[in-house]
Chains A and B, each alone.
Chain A
Amino acid sequence: AQSVSQHNHHVILSEAASLELGCNYSYGGTVNLFWYVQYPGQHLQLLLKYFSGDPLVKGIKGFEAEFIKSKFSFNLRKPSVQWSDTAEYFCAVCKYSGGGADGLTFGKGTHLIIQP
């Protein structure tokens, strides 16, 4: 079965620091990759997604992620974080089988705290 690993469960940064959250997946076939964010008390919102083409994808709020196929990685980055980025971040993978796209497999999440 496929799995998604997020390297850091808790990250604490100061405002204006740079951010990189790691994500690796185990499935070797065709995948689509996602990063979702969950702000305190809210539901999941899509930050960005990768389907094909340019492996560097840009999302909302200044986030970007790079797909490195050889490393099975899809790391999330932001050059300068803000206090409002405090949230839970989830990496997710959708794989394709003979019947088409399956449900998403999520990582366990990274709890990001930005200190003013």
Chain B
Amino acid sequence: DADVTQTPRNRITKTGKRIMLECSQTKGHDRMYWYRQDPGLGLQLIYYSFDVKDINKGEISDGYSVSRQAQAKFSLSLESAIPNQTALYFCATSSGGDLNEQFFGPGTRLTVL
């Protein structure tokens, strides 16, 4: 079984719709992250959470919000989707500390029409 799972894996939606992407992990890590990947731009950090009560904005948080429902769950929401939010979204986890090696989920491909 995968350690980091994301649902849905693919989603097509229309401009203005609210969308939630979910991430779950069984690694027992405290830290969770959301990134988006665009062709030619690499991965950009949207939000990250060091524990259930700690949420931090990343490089490109505008237009997004997150919820850390439990240690194992971290959701990303687009309150009103727009076409330039079409991208591949990755969730990642890490145990933090000196290592901070991050483990990635399989990604969610989101298309906003």
Contacts and interface: CB of A to CB of B under 8 A. Distances in A.
Q: Do A and B come from one complex?
A: yes
Nearest to A45: B104
Interface residues of B, number: 25
A11 interface: no
Contact of A43 (B42, B50, B58, B90): B90
A101 B106 contact: no
Given A43-B106, A106-B44, A108-B42, A100 B96 contact: yes
Contacts, number: 55
Contacts of A44: 43, 90, 104
Contacts of A40: none
Contacts of B44: 106
Interface string A32-43: 101010000011
A16 B94 CA distance: 35
A107 B98 CA distance: 21
Identify which of A32, A36, A44, A51 gathers the most chain B CB atoms within 10 Å of its CB: A44
A43 B96 contact: no
A51 B43 contact: no
Interface string B6-48: 0000000000000000000000000001010000111111001
7 contacts: A43-B105, A43-B107, A46-B101, A100-B97, A101-B100, A104-B43, A109-B42
Interface of A: 4, 9, 32, 34, 36, 42-46, 49, 51, 90, 92, 94, 100-109
Q: Which 7 A-B pairs have the closest CB atoms?
A: A101-B100, A108-B42, A106-B42, A106-B43, A44-B104, A103-B45, A43-B106
Interface of B: 33, 35, 40-45, 48, 50, 58, 90, 94, 96-107
